[in-house]
Amino acid sequence: MRSCGSFVLLAVALCFVVDAAQAKGTGLIFVANEKSSTITVLDRNDKVIKSFETCARPRGMHFSEDRGQFYVGCADDSVIAVYDVATQELQQRIRGVEEPETFDLHPNGRHLYISNEEDATATVFDVESGEFVAEFETGEEPEGVQVTSDGKRVFVASEAANMVHVIDVEAQEVIKDILVDTRPRRFALTPDEKELWVTAELAGMVNIIDTGTLEIVGDISFLPTGFRKEQVTPVDVLITKDGTRAYVALGRANHVAVVEVEARKVIDYVLVGKRPWGLALTHDESKLYVANGLSDDLSIIDTTSLRVLISIPVGRVPYGILIDDH
């Protein structure tokens, strides 16, 4: 016969399992505000519930592999700050990361590939130990970073050099520099990873790179009604999980472009706040969050109707967005 103590232990163990399950997918939305050096936190109902100070000039953000933590790149402190998702408590500071802008996490869950804007390099840091791992030379002002799902390649966009650098992870070297249009900023891979989309801010377009040949195979230009070409400055780009639709934040043109991926055709423009740069989709892709850098707010777009549901004030110059709804 089992003792009462055995049942108590079983009950406690089950409680821990339930608590762990509930801890995932908090529904929280995190917004990095570059000029106020704060992070705004919204709940799953899009209500601002808190704002807290972080290190200086927070920009890129990324979840840890298990989504229990999130990383924040703070350019003016040369630090990657690590926070607990559920409590937003500071867990760690990875120091000596020169002017981090954006970054991507390798599938091994340990190596963070980081663009270092002022140093013209991409560096790799181990998020568990906080130690420096590797460095790769890039063109001036690197920004966007994209790791392939198999972890074999890393792409880095160099704004001032108008190049996309291709890093072979196994060989630990840059194997190609791809010349693209003016001022490349951010990346998106199609679900099959056969195409890499890169925004060219000052060219007002997206370049499409064949990941097999590492050559440009197409481009898409943008021009919302009432704007001049020089006012269209695309930055962030997202592609849906089924690969049918892309969203592009058009910067000074104050719109988000909606693109049919296969046809490479703009199907709509959605008016948002001033200078939209950062984008994030909910897990079910029903809502698109847009960080508007010059109106200091978020626009939330219903992706079915392609209308803005609400605009929510956040901190000064919002840059990056994370949504914990997996």
Q: How far apart are CA 238 and CA 233, in angstroms?
A: 16
User: What's the chain's Rg over C-alpha atoms?
Assistant: 20
Residue 266, exposed/middle/buried by CB under 10 A (0-12, 13-18, 19+)?
middle
> SS3 breakdown of the chain: % helix, strand, coil, rounded to 5?
10, 50, 40
Q: How far apart are CA 61 and CA 279, in angstroms?
A: 12
- In tens, the pLDDT along 64-79 reads 999 999 999 999 999 9
Tally of residues, the chain: 326
The whole-number pLDDT of residue 16 equals: 39
Residue 216, exposed/middle/buried by CB under 10 A (0-12, 13-18, 19+)?
middle
Tens place of pLDDT per residue across the chain (326 aa): 334 444 333 343 434 343 433 446 899 999 999 999 999 999 999 999 999 999 999 999 999 999 999 999 999 999 999 999 999 999 999 999 999 999 999 999 999 999 999 999 999 999 999 999 999 999 999 999 999 999 999 999 999 999 999 999 999 999 999 999 999 999 999 999 999 999 999 999 999 999 999 999 999 999 999 999 999 999 999 999 999 999 999 999 999 999 999 999 999 999 999 999 999 999 999 999 999 999 999 999 999 999 999 999 999 999 999 999 98
Q: Where are the beta strands (DSSP E) in 29-131?
A: 29-33, 38-42, 48-53, 58-63, 69-74, 79-84, 90-95, 100-105, 111-116, 121-126
DSSP β-bridge partners for residue 154:
147, 167
46, two tokens: 């899009």
Q: How far apart are CA 143 and CA 128, in angstroms?
A: 23
Q: How far apart are CA 89 and CA 83, in angstroms?
A: 5
Of 183, 186, 208, 205, nearest in space to 197 by CA: 208
Q: Give the global pTM.
A: 0.92
- In tens, the pLDDT along 223-244 reads 999 999 999 999 999 999 999 9
- For 168, the enclosing helix (H) or strand (E) is strand 163-168
- For 18, the enclosing helix (H) or strand (E) is helix 4-23
Are the C-beta atoms of 154 and 104 separated by less than 8 Å?
A: yes
- Cα torsion at 275, 278, 279, 280 (round to 10°)? -140
The whole-number pLDDT of residue 228 equals: 97
241, two tokens: 């999980």
Using CA atoms, how far residue 101 sits from 73, 118, 196, in Å, is 6, 10, 20
Q: In 10 A of CB 214, how many CB atoms?
A: 16
DSSP letter (8 states) at residue 320 = E
Q: How far apart are CA 239 and CA 281, in angstroms?
A: 9
Q: How far apart are CA 95 and CA 130, in angstroms?
A: 7
The whole-number pLDDT of residue 24 equals: 65
